């Protein structure tokens, strides 16, 4: 009886942890997105002022509790061409991918799609859900979600049957981030038969 109660208490004091990569070209707004997400979901977190955020060289890590018993560990990786070759080092452990697109930079949308095409074709990301965020929707003249989808649909064959969604957001204002992250959290749970979460003590 004691062992049963002890096991129940231990279970109640644990969370399911999912590891999610934040990828995209440099200057797409990945780190700004992470900071805004932390502000939205971590009570009391003041965060870094948006105008103080600099280009990521390496890796930023953050814990965010999206749902009561689910915690997402975000890995924000640098998007410079020289750093993209390191992305696949993290694929095997990833439960999901957030791919950030700078919708205010039409000149680089093709380059962004090519980097996306390469990652979705990697066997270590098979069955891993992908959330594509058309960022910087607060800017005049940005590409619409429909226009971003038209370009990224060229990767449809490689995406296959996995869960994949394109959402409009503004990392600066926070618009669109909550519904996008709620979809991500729910999809990670549904996909746990392919990639089970890690159970960790609540801290």
For residue 121, what are the β-bridge partners? none
Confirm whether residue 70 is marked as ligand binding: no
27 is in an annotated binding site: yes
Which of left, alpha, beta for 176 (phi over 0: left; psi -120 to 50: alpha)? left
Token pair for 81: 């061409």
According to the annotation, is 89 in a ligand binding site? Answer: no
Residue 136 annotated as binding? Answer: yes
Q: What is the 3-state secondary structure (H, E, C) of 10-76?
A: HHHCEEEEEEEEEECCCCCCHHHHHHHHHHHHCCCCCCCCHHHCCCCCCEEEEEEEEECCEEEEEEE
Residue 68 labelled as part of a binding site: no
Active site residue 80: yes
| Nearest CA among 129, 130, 131, 133 for reference residue 176 | 133
Would the annotation count 31 as a binding residue?
A: yes
- Is the Cβ–Cβ distance between 25 and 110 less than 8 Å? no
Q: Which residues contact 101 (CB under 8 A, 6 or more apart)?
A: 24, 28, 109, 112, 132, 133, 134, 135, 148, 152
Instruction: Report whether 79 belongs to an annotated binding site.
Output: yes
Question: 88 labelled as ligand-binding?
Answer: no
The one catalytic residue among 80, 111, 147, 154: 80
Q: Is 16 annotated as a binding residue?
A: no
Q: Between vectors from CA 35 to CA 71 and to CA 21, what angle results, nearest 5°?
A: 55
The answer to the question of whether 32 is labelled as a binding residue is no
Sequence ranges of the binding site:
24-31, 56, 79, 135-138
Binding residue numbers for GTP: 24-31, 79, 135-138
Binding site per annotation, positions for Mg(2+) = 31, 56
> Which residues participate in catalysis according to the annotation?
80
């Amino acid at each position: 009886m004691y062992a049963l109660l002890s096991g129940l208490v231990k279970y109640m004091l644990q969370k399911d942890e999912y590891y999610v990569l934040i990828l995209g070209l440099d200057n797409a707004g990945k780190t700004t997105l992470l900071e805004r997400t932390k502000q939205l979901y971590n009570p009391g977190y003041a965060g870094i002022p948006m105008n103080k955020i600099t280009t990521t060289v390496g890796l930023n890590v953050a814990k965010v509790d999206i749902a009561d018993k689910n915690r997402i560990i975000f890995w924000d990786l640098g998007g410079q061409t020289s750093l993209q070759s390191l992305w696949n080092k993290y694929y095997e452990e990833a439960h999901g991918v957030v791919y950030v697109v700078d919708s205010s930079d039409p000149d680089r949308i093709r380059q962004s799609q090519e980097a996306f095409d390469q990652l979705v074709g990697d066997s270590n990301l098979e069955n891993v859900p992908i959330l594509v965020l058309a960022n910087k929707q607060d800017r005049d003249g940005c590409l619409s979600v429909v226009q971003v989808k038209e370009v990224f649909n060229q990767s449809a064959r490689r995406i296959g049957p996995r869960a994949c969604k394109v959402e409009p957001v503004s990392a600066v204002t926070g618009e669109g981030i909550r519904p996008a992250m709620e979809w991500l959290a729910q999809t990670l749970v549904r996909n746990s038969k392919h990639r089970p979460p890690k159970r960790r003590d609540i801290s």
